Structure formats: C-alpha cells, structure tokens
Amino acid sequence: MAEITASLVKELRERTGAGMMECKKALTETGGDIDAAAENLRKSGLAKADKKAGRVAAEGRIATAQDGGKAVLVEINSETDFVAKDENFIAFTDAAAKAALGAADIEALKGAKIDGQTVEETRAALIAKVGENVQLRRMVAIDSSNNVAAYVHGGRIGVLVEVKGGDADLARGIAMHIAAMNPPYVKAADVPADFIEKEKEIELAKMSDKDKAKPADILEKIISGKINKIVNEVTLYGQPYVLNTDQTVEQAVKAAGADVVGFQRLAVGEGIEKVVEDYAAEVMKQAGLA
C-alpha cells in the first residue's frame, strides 16, 4: 500500500477537481492507487449526478463561441444563480460552447470532448463539485457566409443574427437590439395571418359603438392603423433601433445596404417552471422554530 501523502492527494485533486477529503478517502480505499482512485471519483460523480437529475435547474448561463461565419449559443442550467456565477460552472459553459462548434445538436454535444473527457462526463464531475443539478438544455447555431454576430448579455440572454450585406458592427448592433427588445418576427411578412386576424377582432371589440357605426371604409382605416402599430411592435424591422431611436431597425439596415436573414435568441430558464422556495421558513423549520 502506497503512503497517502499530501502531494498524492494534491495530484488527485488536480486530476479530478474533487475535494481534498474526497480525494484522501478515495486514495485510502484504493491503497494509494491514484488511477483507481480517479476512476472511483468519476463513478461517484456520475452517481451524484443521477441523484440530482430530477431537481429543477432553471438558472444558469448562455455561452457562445464563434469561428468566422459559424456561431453557437448553448444554454446550460443550474439550480441557483449562485452556482451560475461559480468559476467552475463558467469555465464548463465556455468549454461546452467551443465544443458545440463541431456538434450538430445538443445530444451530439454531450459526446463531444473537453480535455479528453466527454462533455457529459465533465458535466457529471461538475455536479459532484458544485453540489447542484447541471443540465445541458439546448443549443442553436448559424453557419453562413454572410455577416454573423453572436452576442450574450450578462450571461442571461444570447443572440445569433445573420445579416446579408453591411458589416460586423451592424450585425452586432442588430444582435444587441434583439437581446433588448425580443421581437418575435423579422418583418411584417413573417407575422402569421391568424395573429393578424385575432388582433383585428380584439381591436374591434375594444371600439365604442359610436366608432363601430362609422362607414366601413373609415372603420377599416382605423383598424388598419392599429394593426400596423401592433405589427411594428412585434417585428424587428418595425421597432425603433435601440442604438439610434430616430430610426427603425429597417431604416438602419437599409441605409447600410443590408438585410437581416434571420436570428436566434435564447434566455436562461425560459419555459421552465421554477419552484418558489421560502428559505426563511425552511431555515426556521430546520431550527425547530416552525
């Protein structure tokens, strides 16, 4: 049996990222065999990951990577904002985003490699380290010969945008606008007909009997004006450009001789039902005060 020295524990910690006591215990159990200890810690990490897999992970981070006209966004979730700001979590999300440049989808990403281990294995090891469920939720990508911009705001909102013509600064400005304003559509032609019809019904129902009694052509103009305003609000091209509110986005794009081909936008946790915790009540309960 090899002596369990401080240097051996240190080496195992550097190899696995596990805590000092976990490393010492693993070395003791394997008689000082560092390879066997590392393997046991990996298995332990996978077991912990399985136990935490059912816990809601609605916080996290959007990470991006870009190589020329190819860019990706990856959403990786944690249970708390505290872990989302942890340096180990951030390093993992950045590495996963780089690996995603060569992956077709989120399932393929799980099998991609980070420093010799798969992304899935690295995720499991991270769970053991941070003590929370961590999930690779989704990724989106653009691969084009046009101008492509990738923008992430505060790690919470990420945007990819493809612009034909213009330059990199224009594409980045448009990406920033999309992050801030979250338009559902690019142009008026992209807005579904059923959405328009539903809005017409709503606007008509809101009108007074006096307005409804106006001649049909005048009534149509009133309704059309209201619908045009709504369409501008829900389309990228119709919105005032956040970098120059004297222009619409369409005016800014056209002035540069460009056209927005499309975009992708991700926000952390959207669509996930979050569990609201009453931490004060939980602490009191544990303390026997409730």
pLDDT 10s digits, 145-193 = 999 999 999 999 999 999 999 999 999 999 999 999 999 999 999 999 9
- How many whole angstroms separate alpha carbon 148 and alpha carbon 92? 24
Check: CB of residue 185 under 8 Å from CB of residue 195: no
What is the spatial distance between Cα 176 and Cα 198, in angstroms, rounded to a whole number?
30
Give per-residue pLDDT as tens, 8-21. 888 877 766 666 77
Whose structure tokens read 């959207």? 270
User: What is the C-alpha separation between 250 and 256, in angstroms, rounded?
Assistant: 10
pTM given for the model: 0.75
Average pLDDT over residues 31-35: 83
Which residue, 290, 189, 278, 179, is CA-closest to 231? Answer: 189
Q: What is the Cα–Cα distance from 240 to 228, expressed in whole angstroms?
A: 14
Question: Amino acid letter at 54?
Answer: G
Interatomic CA distance for residues 284 and 265, integer angstroms: 41
Structure tokens, 34: 């560092």
Whether pLDDT at 49 is above 80: no
pLDDT average, residue stretch 65-85: 95
| Torsion, CA 21, CA 23, CA 25, CA 28, rounded to 10 | -140
Is 50's pLDDT higher than 70? no
Domains recognised in the chain with CATH numbers = 6-52 (1.10.8.10), 55-143 (3.30.479.20)
Please, which pLDDT band fits residue 33 given cuts at 50, 70 and 90? Answer: confident
pLDDT for 218: 82
